[in-house]
């Protein structure tokens, strides 16, 4: 085992046997090739704080692509090396670890672009160009000082203090590459660290620079914030720095409470953050978390003050559902199945609440089962997360009501089999029996069968549906080609 651990300042880096083998082979390849190399960045940071890591960056003084090729030869089977000659970078994946190689470099930027002018540099140059001190840590893989930590900006101290800080003037750091502002907030949210005061002020001063960053890169950082253990930390920081107003203004529209005649409504921005944190305790699904973010997004457009009653947001779930595709398009989020899930949850998030009332019919339960389908559990999680009252007795009562709704949903589903329901009579059966093609009549018959089942007028069975089909077809003036079956 070439590299076992690094000990310094009462801190220790420990590698698994697999990691030690991989890094040991890379170190041996570097020595044999005469290419000085260091482990840098996130791998070192995460090892120091005991956080799982799935990738490692190697910085070299010399040809990073050549070292990647030489290191790959030491593995069996040999991993495929991907490289980008123009950028001097190479990558391979081995035993679940992504390893990237790049030559040390210094960078300079032009005001209108975050793409730097790059030239070869020293290790010190490479560390200086890093975004934050905790990401500028390096461990030598070289025989003369193997295992030695190179920490020119007191990144270890910032890890101990749990601080996010730029290694140089934050104005330069963020003006050069504005995406670093989002990365800093993302690290704060993921790690639970505070952002240094000067670094925070630099984000505020340079926030308008975010306009030169592609939407795809912005959204990638936003998604990582949303997937952090307590995503409200990152989203609140985005709001307070002014970045959220620039990258997601529909969400900032939720902020604030208005009062008329002493009657006000809650601040729906901070309510949304609490709902997001609540659901994040129970779901790691990015799209369920997006549904929590967007569940009240239609409230600003539907807010009304009614004399003698107060503030209302009638139909905000419908308006919010219509907003989802446009928001996904603007943020370059996927427009397919994931968007449809978020829209469904936004549109349905008030339905289970209505089922907590007394005298709710089985028909209403069936319709929710039908409309929610396989996403029923995600919907119920969203509804339970939506309870943000500070009155614990009230919260307990609401949760108990939702548990009763869950029981009724389970009972009706067991008897009627509505969830993920497929109609007992298909359009193909109707067209074949009556000798017609796709038409409005086919849809009318299918709808009549569906509504009768959901209303409990007929059981969810083929024979009952067949008899209703014949009756409805007769109303429409249709006759079976062969007289129908008995």
d(CA 403, CA 409): 10
**Cis ω for the linkage preceding 303 (within 30 of 0):** no
For residue 112, tell me if it sits in a domain: yes
For residue 260, tell me if it sits in a domain: no
- Mean pLDDT of all residues in the chain? 89
For residue 483, tell me if it sits in a domain: no
For residue 481, tell me if it sits in a domain: no
Q: Does residue 174 sit in the same domain as residue 303?
A: no
Q: Does residue 337 sit in the same domain as residue 452?
A: no
d(CA 365, CA 369): 6
Which of 302, 387, 310 has the alpha carbon at shortest distance from 353? 387
Q: What angle do CA 143, 146, 149 make, to 5 degrees?
A: 150
User: Is the pLDDT score of 108 beyond 60?
Assistant: no
Q: Does residue 28 sit in the same domain as residue 57?
A: yes
User: Is the pLDDT score of 418 beyond 80?
Assistant: no
Q: Which domain does 226 fall in, by range?
A: 162-247
Q: Does residue 142 sit in the same domain as residue 166?
A: no
pLDDT for position 461? 84
User: Is the pLDDT score of 5 beyond 50?
Assistant: no
Q: Does residue 146 sit in the same domain as residue 168?
A: no
For residue 33, tell me if it sits in a domain: yes
For residue 192, tell me if it sits in a domain: yes
Q: Does residue 118 sit in the same domain as residue 10?
A: yes
d(CA 107, CA 414): 64
pLDDT for position 94? 96
pLDDT for position 7? 45
pLDDT for position 308? 76
For residue 263, tell me if it sits in a domain: no
Q: Does residue 150 sit in the same domain as residue 170?
A: no
Q: What is the CATH number of the domain that holds 183?
A: 1.10.110.30
- Cα 469 to its chain centre, rounded Å, is 45
- pTM for this predicted structure: 0.84
User: Is the pLDDT score of 26 beyond 90?
Assistant: yes
pLDDT digits over 185-228, tens only? 999 999 999 999 999 999 999 999 999 999 999 999 999 999 99
Other beta carbons within 10 Å of 396: 12
pLDDT band at 2 (very low <50, low <70, confident <90, very high): very low
Question: In Å, how far are 200, 341, 412 from 148, measured between CA atoms?
Answer: 31, 50, 65
Q: Domain tally for the chain?
A: 4
- How many C-alpha atoms does 345 have within 13 Å on its Cβ side? 27
- Cα 255 to its chain centre, rounded Å, is 22
Q: Are 470 and 480 in contact (CB under 8 A)?
A: yes
User: Is the pLDDT score of 9 beyond 50?
Assistant: no
Average pLDDT of span 221-240 = 98
DSSP lists the bridge partners of residue 42 as: none
For residue 93, tell me if it sits in a domain: yes
d(CA 357, CA 90): 61
Q: Are 210 and 272 in contact (CB under 8 A)?
A: no
């Amino acid at each position: 085992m070439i590299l076992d651990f690094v000990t310094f300042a009462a801190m220790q880096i420990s590698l698994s046997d697999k990691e030690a083998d991989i890094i040991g082979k890379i170190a041996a390849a570097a020595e044999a090739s005469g290419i000085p190399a260091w482990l840098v960045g996130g791998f070192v940071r995460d090892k120091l704080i005991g956080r799982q890591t799935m990738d490692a960056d190697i910085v070299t003084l010399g040809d990073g692509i050549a070292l990647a090729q030489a290191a790959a030869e030491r593995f069996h089977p040999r991993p495929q090396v991907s490289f980008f000659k123009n950028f001097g970078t190479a990558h391979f994946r081995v035993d679940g670890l992504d390893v990237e190689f790049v030559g040390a470099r210094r960078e300079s930027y032009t005001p209108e672009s975050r793409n730097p002018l790059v030239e070869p540099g020293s290790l010190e140059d490479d560390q200086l160009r890093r975004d934050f001190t905790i990401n500028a840590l390096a461990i030598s893989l070289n025989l003369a000082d193997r295992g030695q930590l190179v920490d020119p900006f007191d990144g270890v101290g910032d890890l101990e203090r749990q601080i996010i800080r730029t290694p140089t003037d934050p104005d330069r750091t963020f003006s050069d590459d504005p995406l670093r502002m989002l990365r800093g907030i993302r690290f704060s949210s993921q790690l639970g660290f505070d952002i240094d005061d000067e670094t925070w002020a630099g984000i505020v001063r340079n926030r308008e620079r975010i306009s030169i960053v592609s939407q795809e890169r912005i959204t990638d950082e936003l998604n990582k914030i949303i997937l952090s253990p307590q995503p409200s930390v990152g989203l609140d920081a985005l709001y307070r720095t002014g970045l959220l107003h620039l990258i997601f203004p529909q969400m900032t529209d939720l902020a604030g409470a208005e009062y008329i005649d002493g009657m006000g409504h809650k601040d729906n921005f901070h309510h949304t953050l609490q709902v997001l944190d609540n659901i994040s305790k129970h779901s790691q699904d990015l799209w369920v978390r997006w549904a929590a973010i967007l569940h009240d997004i239609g409230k600003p457009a539907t807010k009304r003050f009614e004399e003698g009653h107060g503030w209302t947001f009638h139909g905000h779930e419908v308006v919010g559902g219509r907003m989802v595709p446009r928001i996904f398009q603007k943020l370059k989020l996927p427009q397919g199945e994931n968007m449809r899930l978020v829209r469904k949850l936004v549109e349905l998030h008030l339905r289970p609440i209505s089922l907590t009332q007394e005298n709710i019919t089985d028909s209403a339960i069936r319709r929710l089962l039908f409309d929610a389908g396989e996403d029923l559990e995600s919907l119920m999680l969203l509804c339970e997360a939506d309870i943000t009252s500070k009155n614990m007795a009230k919260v307990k009562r609401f949760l108990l009501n939702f548990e009763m709704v869950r029981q009724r949903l389970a009972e009706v589903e067991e008897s009627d089999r509505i969830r993920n329901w497929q109609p007992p009579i298909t359009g193909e059966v109707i067209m074949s029996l009556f000798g017609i093609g796709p038409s409005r009549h086919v849809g009318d018959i299918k709808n009549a069968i569906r509504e009768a089942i959901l209303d409990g007028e007929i059981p969810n069975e083929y024979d009952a549906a067949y008899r209703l089909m014949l009756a409805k077809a007769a109303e429409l003036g249709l006759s079976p080609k062969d007289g129908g079956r008995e």
